[in-house]
Amino acid sequence: MRPANTLSALAMTLLASAALAPSARADEGLQLPPTGHTVLNFTATERISLPQDLLTASLRIEARSSDPRKVQAEINTAMEKALVVAKKVAGVKVTTGGYQVYEQRLERNLRMWQGQQTLQLESKNAAAVLELAGQLQGSGFAMSGLGYSLSPERAESVRDELMVKALGSLKAKAALVARTLGKSGYDLVDVNLGGDMPVVPMYRAMRAEMAMADGAVAPLPSAEPGETEVAVTVAARALLKP
């Protein structure tokens, strides 16, 4: 037979566990809404299409030789000259990209070295980018990519406006559901403003003319801007009143 004090201790432990159980369930997020209330989870998205305002051109200089030193010297010289020319153009951001030199084995006893380095031009002044890209093509650079995008600052300028519209849509939806269900009103008890959607580019056709025959003047590359869709999504939880 167990001692009386042991049985008393066991009884106290069971009572304490029973008393803690409801709060533990509350901590686990299992609380139900007050009687007569209904919880509504929903989202609203607002979007707008904006004209793209940032043009980016990516060019590369290539060299090939059986001597890796010659390959690197050609690339270094061409890039140095290109940077001097590019940095004179106001309003165009100029950056260099990957630099690669690697060996190619064409036959058993024949080895060649291939190398390249990229140069990127970026500006809201499309004419300046296109003219500069054309100059670099004429000096031996090849076009790797040419395209418009929406500048980050332009996208950010409309996000607050879209957020306000999305919040208004949330309130309208909550009011509509409350009326439909015969509720007296609603409270937004949880709103998540961190639901920004990524910008989605919508491209238009663009082309870049390559170098022509020796002695001929190559036309400048062309590009036409498209539009980019910016969207903001707001999520919320509403408590519909009885």
Domains of the chain, each with CATH number or no CATH: 33-53+151-242 (3.30.110), 54-149 (3.30.70.360)
Cα separation of 147 and 92, whole Å? Answer: 15
Instruction: Compute the average pLDDT of residues 116-141.
Output: 96
Predicted pLDDT at 223: 87
* Terminal Cα distance for the chain, rounded: 57
On the question of pLDDT at 54 being above 80, the answer is yes
Which residue, among 241, 181, 242, 237, has the nearest Cα to 29 in the 3D structure?
237
pLDDT, averaged across the chain? 81
| CA atoms of 163 and 142, how far apart (whole Å) | 43
CA pair distance 154, 201, nearest whole angstrom: 13
Q: What pLDDT, on the 0 to 100 scale, is given for residue 166?
A: 94
What pLDDT is recorded for position 34? 74
Would you say residue 180 has pLDDT above 90?
Answer: yes
Alpha carbons 135 and 51: distance in angstroms, whole number: 27
pLDDT of residue 242: 87
Query: Model confidence over 62-82: pLDDT tens digits?
Result: 999 999 999 999 999 999 999
Percentage helix, strand, coil for the chain under 3-state DSSP, each rounded to 5: 35, 40, 25
For the cut 80, the answer to whether the pLDDT of residue 183 exceeds it is yes
The per-residue pLDDT for 21 is 40
- Chain centre to alpha carbon of residue 198: 6
Which residue did the predictor score with more confidence, 45 or 205? 45
Query: What single-letter amino acid sits at 181?
Result: L
pLDDT score of 17: 36
Residue 189 has pLDDT above 90, yes or no: no
Tokens representing 111 are: 């080895």
Q: Is the pLDDT of residue 130 over 90?
A: yes
Full-model pTM: 0.69
Check residue 190 and give its pLDDT: 87
Q: So what's the pLDDT on residue 173?
A: 93
Give the pLDDT of residue 10.
31
